[in-house]
Amino acid sequence: MFTAKQHAYFAITCVEGGSHSWCNGFFLQTPTRGELQRKLGDLYEGPWYAEPALYQYEDLSIKVVDDDGKYALNQKNLQRDHDLLKEKNHDIWLRLKHDDYDADDTDVWLQYCIFGELVYG
């Protein structure tokens, strides 16, 4: 499984560049921003999706929106994504695993997390 820090870096890269062509929104549901800030105190800075501690929450829920609907990103999806990427897109999985990825690779990561497959080329 990818680390919490890797998930945070993947989120930064895809939210700020890799998934703009199809992703219309990326919204934190659980924990709330206030809960995250209370837990981290002065350590909390930057956009919420950039915080590695977020990806350690058991009840993590991020709403991802495209033109066709709303989808949940949660711990179950993160595990499924890891397994599917390793099996179906091993080259991308290796680049992500070894921190040698680009925005397109993180877009594939996000699509596997929420759709379970590559939907947007």
Rounded Cα gap, residues 58 and 65, in angstroms? 22
Is the pLDDT at 62 greater than 60, yes or no?
yes
In angstroms, how far is CA 91 from the centroid of its own chain? 18
The vertex-27 CA angle with 49 and 73, nearest 5°, equals 80
Please give the C-alpha separations between residue 14 and each of 7, 8, 19, 107, in angstroms, as whole numbers: 11, 10, 5, 5
8 located within any domain: yes
Q: Determine the pLDDT at residue 23.
A: 92
Rounded Cα gap, residues 112 and 11, in angstroms? 13
Q: pLDDT digit string (tens) for 9-22? A: 999 999 988 898 99
121 located within any domain: no
Split into its structural domains, the chain has a count of 1
The answer to whether residues 72 and 63 touch, using CB atoms and an 8 Å cutoff, is: yes
102 located within any domain: yes
120 located within any domain: no
Average pLDDT for 82-89: 90
pTM for the structure as a whole:
0.88
Residues 79, 77, 107, 119, Cα dihedral to 10°:
120
Domain that holds residue 42: 4-115
Rounded Cα gap, residues 83 and 91, in angstroms? 13
